[in-house]
């Protein structure tokens, strides 16, 4: 059983109806006042949608495929979170971000309507990665079990209900993906999908390059694809999150780099659960042009 003392992040609090870690709420005024720079690149995701993977790809792009440069520090130590801080760090990610030289790459799990307004004012580029909700839910369930930063998921059945109701960290998956989908028509946002990245990483990396106004040789792109593949990243201590202290991420319960494949939901959803989910999904996604694929 997880106890509150284990982490200041374990309790979730609501901001505008969205459940966020206590730490985000504590620093909320500062998050809202975040001063962006026009050349900031923001990576935005709903949790468990491929943040760490995309982060590695973007860092490789930024460093022209130089693996050694991307191994300068762990994932959590390379790019600050806007609204979060891992408990093992001495200072807030926000303070770290303020001291960082440009160009910066920052991460966030915030829904679009809670983004610090200055990011839009500075017209920063944002890359949003979405993942199908069934796999996202399964991934999140295992993550809740292995991290002391989030409440115990109780049973899989309980978590299934909570996820559909949006009573989980960062709020409703539906609101998150739809909110960002709408935002992309107003701001500089590249909206990508985990399943597309898995199916055709080269095409998706080309989209990123075009969005960033950068070119790389096909050789370098191939190197990036290799270095950021699940099997290679899983063995890379600077990318597989094993650097996070065990009391925060307990990889003996579940690896952070768990399966890395679309379709694992089929091993967890019963036929009845799947029917319930599909019905609920249809209602929640009515009227949007946004579509997902749940297997490749």
Write out the catalytic residue numbers: 109
Q: Is the dihedral of CA 210, 212, 215, 220 positive or negative?
A: negative
76 binds ligand A3P (CB under 6 A): no
Other Cβ atoms closer than 10 A to 35? 13
Other Cβ atoms closer than 10 A to 119? 23
177 binds ligand A3P (CB under 6 A): no
Can the peptide bond before residue 103 be classed as cis, meaning omega within 30 degrees of 0? yes
Q: Is the dihedral of CA 147, 256, 163, 57 positive or negative?
A: positive
Euclidean distance between CA atoms 177 and 129, whole angstroms: 9
264 binds ligand A3P (CB under 6 A): yes
Tokens of residue 20, six digits: 């966020």
50 binds ligand A3P (CB under 6 A): yes
Among the candidate windows 30-38, 42-50, 166-174, 272-280, which touches ligand A3P by CB under 6 A?
A: 42-50
Residues 137 to 166 in contact with ligand A3P, rule: CB under 6 A: 139, 142
Count, residues near ligand A3P per rule CB under 6 A: 20
Instruction: Give, rounded to a whole angstrom, the gap between the first and last alpha carbons of the chain.
Output: 36
Among the candidate windows 25-33, 50-58, 83-91, 174-182, which touches ligand A3P by CB under 6 A?
A: 50-58
The one among 7, 24, 45, 148 contacting ligand A3P by CB under 6 A: 45
Give the residue from 31, 49, 255 showing the smallest Cα distance to 143: 255
The one among 7, 49, 108, 148 contacting ligand A3P by CB under 6 A: 49
Other Cβ atoms closer than 10 A to 73? 11
Among the candidate windows 18-26, 184-192, 229-237, 280-288, which touches ligand A3P by CB under 6 A?
A: 229-237
Q: How far apart are CB 175 and ligand A3P at their closest, in Å? A: 17
- In the complex, the residues that contact ligand A3P under the rule CB under 6 A are 45, 47-53, 135, 139, 142, 228-230, 233, 257-260, 264
């Amino acid at each position: 059983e997880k106890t509150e003392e284990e982490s200041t992040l374990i309790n979730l609090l609501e901001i505008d109806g969205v459940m966020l870690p206590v730490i985000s709420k504590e620093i909320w005024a500062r998050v809202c006042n975040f001063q962006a720079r026009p050349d900031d690149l923001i990576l935005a995701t709903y949790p468990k949608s491929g943040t760490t993977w995309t982060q590695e790809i973007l860092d490789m792009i930024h460093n022209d495929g130089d693996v050694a440069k991307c191994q300068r520090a762990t994932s959590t130590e390379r790019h600050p979170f806007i609204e979060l801080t891992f408990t093992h760090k001495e200072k807030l990610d926000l303070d770290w971000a303020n001291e960082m030289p440009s160009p910066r790459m920052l991460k966030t799990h915030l829904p679009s309507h809670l983004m610090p307004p200055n990011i839009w004012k500075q017209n920063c580029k944002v890359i949003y990665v979405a993942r199908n909700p069934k796999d996202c839910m399964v991934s999140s369930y295992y993550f809740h079990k292995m991290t002391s930063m989030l409440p115990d998921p109780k049973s899989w059945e309980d978590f299934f209900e909570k996820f559909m109701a949006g009573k989980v960290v960062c709020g409703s998956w539906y609101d998150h993906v739809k909110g960002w989908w709408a935002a992309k028509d107003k701001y500089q946002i590249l909206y990508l999908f985990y399943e597309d990245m898995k199916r055709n990483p080269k095409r998706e990396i080309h989209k990123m390059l075009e969005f960033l106004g950068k070119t790389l040789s096909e050789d370098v792109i191939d190197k990036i694809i290799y270095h950021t593949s699940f099997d290679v990243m899983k063995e890379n201590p600077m990318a597989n999150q094993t650097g996070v202290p065990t009391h925060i991420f307990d990889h003996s319960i579940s690896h952070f780099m768990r399966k890395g494949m679309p379709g694992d939901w089929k091993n967890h959803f019963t036929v009845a659960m799947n029917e319930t989910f599909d019905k609920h999904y249809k209602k929640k996604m009515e009227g949007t042009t946004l579509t997902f694929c749940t297997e490749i």
